[in-house]
Chains A and B, each alone.
Chain A
């Protein structure tokens, strides 16, 4: 009798455990197939010379050595950071202002404006890139057309480094400012109204309220958006591909890390080399996440 009851109990416990594992299994199976395996396989491929159709030749860390000597790798690293910097800072600032405006109680038609700022985010990135490509065109671009009224010669955005970075950054900003604004808006709505009321009684102006109440209380949201845009910015791909073409323009002015990876793999069939770039990109993102984590911790302890 005793034996049977412990057995039953044991079964029940095992069943509970099993069902728990089964509940979490879908994620882990999918992650193993689409996340973990490709990562390990990429690491393996990065130690080889491989044209994808032929056989792999083991070359050790040769590909990584090539990367460090490759001027285009360093150029693409610079471009990636430059575009990330030019797009993220103004973007987050604009998002903050937008969210602040959307949160004003005197504003009419709130729902409409909230939906409109989010709309750019759900448009196809390829369509966005084509439209922006036309806007920044040298001969028939809208911007140069507008400049012609005030007597400024047409600017060839595509051929210069700064012009290309500005154009690509503007696409990123157009798509993501509204998204970040909505996140900030959610944060703003969680700030208790009495803080504003109290400061109004104390005679604080609107801008004082913004800088001394809103921004400090939004800190977690701001950190979250910075982390998101860092990860997104490191992987920027479709915009430069559509704006500058596969090679990133005549001097690689639009070549970002992921674009270089794509070019090596699919234009030059150097899949081993491309895999090595993927792992370098992985390390760079890890380093940046660690820096982010460090800054976040310090900010939190400063509170």
Chain B
């Protein structure tokens, strides 16, 4: 009874805190602190260059931007909006011809779309970015480069190499090993993952993973190709990896190993705290989200390598829209902020994994541990995962295809459609959407 009431209270508080947080960010609040720190010296200097910067919460670079601004006599206006809003607002202001910021963060899936309109952004190669190329991972750098290689839209922030976070208490209850090495050895294939999931369901009574869609995306991402060829042809039906992933996830659903909790919901955070699912397949930036969504679960999670290699999920770029009047200052800020030294700072603070390989072998990364994840050597682990990432071609409509597949697999998970019907209708939907593009 007491437990039930406390669960109720937790869910209420979660709901309230999310409400507070979203109304806050939804209002497109400019970061008041940023202008304050700089305005102290305003009186002494003359004309200050003011840079407007659009980010979403969780990027973890605000403090460094303020630090740079204070040192370089800049005024910065950091505006945080929800992830989707940043991209929608940027697209709208680019189309309108005014209102775009001096610097905007753009995620990898969205930069694929913007690559068809490179004239909307400063070509960073013209500003001298060519010299930086060797600092960054090759495939990540190319993601922001137009097909002919003539224009660079953004400098890479973090990358999202994947690892497997798991609940030690749930694994113990399920009769599975809890030591990271043993776990990685036992669950080294997706078949083994499903087998372990059955044990978790039988002995601990909870799901192995949060939901079917996350499993599907990650397995699709482990192939050599995804949904499109670089020339734009849809290869969804001909790519064996997609069908293989679909069939595996369908098998996992038959074995009832998902908790059926949608990501980014209040129940997801509660489930993460209470251990309603044993595993979260986590890109490096997810660590920060887990800590803020489930702070009470600190020490109950551990982290190890994922079955069948790694993969990349997300990661972003900082771009300079053409509307900016201070492209030079903006570029200098980006260059400093995304240099290996500063990316190391961001990683230590927020867990976002650097896109600069020179850091991977550095002592600071290799020896970095995280108490939230039972002091796992997360730096070393993600560095190892990053080496395993195979670059995959996304294409401008990758997000549309992924959304449709996710919805389809969720309808199977919700027992509203059979795996076969859902697959067929998803293919038909995607082909219809592509035909009218």
Contacts and interface: CB of A to CB of B under 8 A. Distances in A.
Interface in B234-262: 260-262
A178 interface: no
B116 A139 contact: no
Interface string B87-109: 01001101100000000000000
Interface in A21-68: 49, 51-54, 62-63, 66
B436 A134 contact: no
Interface string A274-294: 000000000000000000000
A269 B397 CA distance: 10
B158 interface: no
Given A53-B95, A53-B114, A273-B436, A250 B271 contact: no
Interface in A245-289: 245-247, 249-252, 266-270, 273
A46 to B, nearest CB: 13
8 closest A-B pairs (Cβ-Cβ)?
Answer: A159-B414, A250-B410, A134-B15, A250-B411, A140-B11, A53-B117, A52-B95, A130-B19
Interface of A: 49, 51-54, 62-63, 66, 70, 72, 124, 126-127, 130-131, 133-134, 137-142, 145, 156, 158-160, 245-247, 249-252, 266-270, 273
A83 B90 CA distance: 33
Interface stretch (B30-38, B52-60, B186-194, B399-407): B399-407
Contact of B407 (A62, A66, A131, A250): A250
Interface in B421-437: 429, 432-433, 436-437
14 contacts: A53-B94, A130-B18, A130-B266, A134-B266, A138-B267, A139-B261, A139-B270, A139-B276, A142-B11, A156-B414, A246-B84, A251-B407, A267-B403, A270-B436
B30 to A, nearest CB: 20
B116 A137 contact: no
Contact of A134 (B11, B260, B411): B11
B414 A140 contact: no
Contacts of B18: 130
Given A51-B116, A156-B414, 18 more contacts: A52-B91, A52-B92, A53-B94, A53-B95, A53-B120, A54-B117, A126-B19, A139-B261, A139-B271, A140-B8, A145-B7, A159-B411, A159-B416, A249-B407, A251-B416, A251-B417, A268-B397, A268-B437
A65 to B, nearest CB: 10
Contact of B437 (A145, A159, A246, A270): A270
B12 interface: yes
Contacts of A130: 15, 18-19, 22, 266
Contacts of B94: 53
Contacts of B150: none
Question: Which of A72, A130, A245, A250: most chain B Cβ within 10 A?
Answer: A250
B179 to A, nearest CB: 30
Contacts, number: 111
Nearest to A59: B436
Contacts of A127: 19, 23
Interface residues of B, number: 51
Interface string B191-212: 0000000000000000000000
B18 to A, nearest CB: 6
Contact of A53 (B4, B10, B23, B91): B91
A70 B415 CA distance: 24
B113 interface: yes
A134 B12 contact: yes
A172 B114 CA distance: 37
B384 to A, nearest CB: 34
Contacts of B117: 53-54
Contacts of A273: 436
Contacts of B436: 49, 62-63, 66, 270, 273
Contacts of A49: 436-437
Contact of A137 (B266, B407, B410, B417): B266
A50 B92 CA distance: 13
A270 B433 CA distance: 9
A171 to B, nearest CB: 14
B265 interface: yes
Interface in B301-325: none
Contacts of B175: none
A131 B4 contact: no
A245 B403 CA distance: 11
A51 B116 CA distance: 10
Interface string B15-31: 10011001100100000
A130 B69 CA distance: 37
Given A53-B91, A53-B117, A247-B403, A124 B23 contact: yes
B14 interface: yes
Nearest to A132: B15
Contact of B8 (A142, A158, A268): A142
Contacts of A51: 113, 116
Given A250-B407, A251-B416, A70 B267 contact: no
A160 B416 contact: yes
A137 B414 CA distance: 14
B260 A138 contact: yes
Given A140-B267, A247-B403, A131 B116 contact: no
A252 B12 CA distance: 27
B261 A250 contact: no
Contacts of B91: 52-53, 266, 269
Contacts of A269: 91, 113
A54 B396 CA distance: 13
Given A126-B22, A247-B407, A133 B265 contact: yes
Given A251-B417, A268-B400, A268-B433, A133 B266 contact: yes
Contacts of B11: 134, 137, 140-142
Given A53-B95, A156-B414, A251-B417, A139 B22 contact: no
